[in-house]
A and B are shown apart, each in its own frame.
Chain A
């Protein structure tokens, strides 16, 4: 294998290995010799070159979240293009001809993926962790058990995915081909990254001609009524979250919608006649495999969003849950997780909910403290309808202790305290410099602790509105 020099539009040059590492439907991908960057060159023919160039230029500069506010925070969330190759002097003509690249050459430069987004399959081959490996079915059996992750890992994956999409949508960008191939996930580490960003729908530039990937194309796009947009991304996002958490597709059921051909049936089943396999009243499209865990077993925050996305909003795009709602609901659900006795699995639990893991049958080691969350305002206490499962070594952050704070790009990530079980008793230790006020009791200052007992109520700051936590136990 030789190397080839590539000149980027920003004047830099890269040294590439001259054999591709992979090939997609429209791009051949080459790695730099130092393996820091991948360059995807369009090959074959390219009809909409001018639009591609315009779109890429704006994606790299104008709409790049890794360059704006909190840029460093967003960098690991995306494989965002960093540069472009364009023009007759960019690569040697002989190289372009041998690789059947479009002429003049056009390519996209992205950083290579982190090592945690690869696993070794049972044959020892290195595989990218596309979502497809982690959504049940036969492919999951090829993934080593330790890579499968727990519900904790998968909820973190889904949270990061929703957060990344929320960021794009906030900037007015639609991914337009969000699918199980264009998102990498690491359930073991709770990480996710959006890739293949060069077909984004950018404001002011015509949308790409691709409809998306089967299984993720919104029903109204498949029915030919509209083109990919933020509203259709919301459908794809909901499908991905459902698949990652429940290991099945929300629309792939038993109902046959056309006997003329498999292709026509599929177009109707994912399009005009799409029906949620767990629709609460219309049971005509039951799932292919019996359901082990229902969508409503994922807790009170996710249940209404699945219903918005697949019951009310499946054929009414404006009713779908948006990425920000998913991010918040996933985060609220993470706060309800409690570890099982083995410490390997996690259960979405709280007052009135089961303490047995629906996936593994393992139980939470009880009694376990939890906090009900209230907000103290001038008009009195308001129930935030949230609970926190409190377990040994849980670290407390501002998002536990202040109302309206989420662990997002703007959050203060420094530890504020922790929970510990010691000699059969449960303790909350305050490591912050803000005292915690026990209602009808003492103030808990810096590095002081309070025993968690049923009925204990804590005001977490003296500013208004303050958060008030009321402790009880799951038994």
Chain B
């Protein structure tokens, strides 16, 4: 490893309601994101990607992998929306994968997390993990509420950065993943100029996506 890593986690809802166009759009969005980052020398150097999905339960589909070695996963949608297990898996992945700064080792940048959900959680555990994320602040988290069934208030319990994608069209997903790509590129370039790691500035979201105040 030559430079610090910028870990990027995508936590995607793959419950039954995501079947069809939405899940296909997420898959092609991840492929586009990967392809796009391969064109950015700074992202090639420092960005690492992981994909975690949640349906009946959570799975880390791709462990944290450097952009050059990343393979976009095959995703299928079914089951309930076990949001809590997704958050648990995210926290567990942090503990397992992130390199901490110690006296003789340069650790990772603060991770960038994108959470995608199109519905309300069906489990009861999620508030515990949401609270942990809110209190420990281990990462910069951007949550996107997809369509009108997504529960914005739930996402607001995880992070103050919630954006709303009104329509779940392929174009809207494409625009969202372009936003993810721009955010990763901008963060991998600007990181280090931020004095205390508390705030990051993201590019303005694309048309069709609004920031929920």
Contact = CB atoms under 8 A, between A and B. Distances in A.
Contact of B3 (A252, A259, A265): A252
Contacts of B101: 256, 258-262, 265
**Interface class of chain A by DSSP:** loop
A193 to B, nearest CB: 17
A264 B44 contact: no
B85 interface: no
Interface residues of B, number: 37
Contacts of B109: 262-263
A273 interface: no
Nearest to B99: A262
Contact of B44 (A43, A142, A259): A142
Nearest to B197: A263
Contact of B203 (A23, A136, A258): A23
A214 B189 contact: yes
A464 B101 CA distance: 63
Nearest to A266: B192
Contacts of B108: 262
A137 B193 contact: no
A127 B43 CA distance: 14
Nearest to A215: B192
A213 B189 contact: yes
Contacts of B45: 132, 137-139
A121 B2 CA distance: 22
Contact of B193 (A98, A127, A214): A214
Contact of B191 (A125, A214, A254): A214
B68 A141 contact: yes
Given A25-B186, A259-B101, A137 B3 contact: yes
A114 to B, nearest CB: 20
Contacts of A100: 204, 207
Interface residues of A, number: 44
Contacts of A214: 189-193
Interface in B34-65: 35, 38-39, 41-42, 44-45
Interface in A240-293: 252, 254, 256, 258-267, 270, 288-289
A262 B204 contact: no
A217 B38 contact: no
Interface string B95-129: 00000011111111110000000000000000000
A222 B106 CA distance: 19
Nearest to A288: B2
A262 B191 CA distance: 9
B110 A261 contact: yes
A289 B2 CA distance: 7
Contacts of B68: 138, 141-142
B39 A121 contact: yes
Contacts of A256: 101-106
A265 B101 CA distance: 9
A259 B197 CA distance: 13
B194 interface: yes
Contacts of B42: 132, 139, 181
A216 B35 CA distance: 27
Given A132-B42, A139-B45, A262 B186 contact: no
Interface in B170-187: 182, 186
B44 A254 contact: no
B44 A263 contact: no
A364 B196 CA distance: 51
Interface of B: 1-4, 35, 38-39, 41-42, 44-45, 66, 68, 101-110, 182, 186, 189-197, 203-204, 207
Interface of A: 23, 25, 43-44, 98, 100, 121, 123, 125, 127, 130, 132-133, 136-139, 141-142, 180-181, 211-215, 217, 222, 252, 254, 256, 258-267, 270, 288-289
Given A127-B39, A265-B101, 19 more contacts: A23-B182, A23-B203, A123-B35, A125-B39, A138-B2, A138-B44, A138-B45, A138-B66, A139-B41, A142-B41, A142-B44, A213-B193, A256-B105, A262-B101, A262-B106, A262-B108, A262-B110, A263-B195, A263-B197
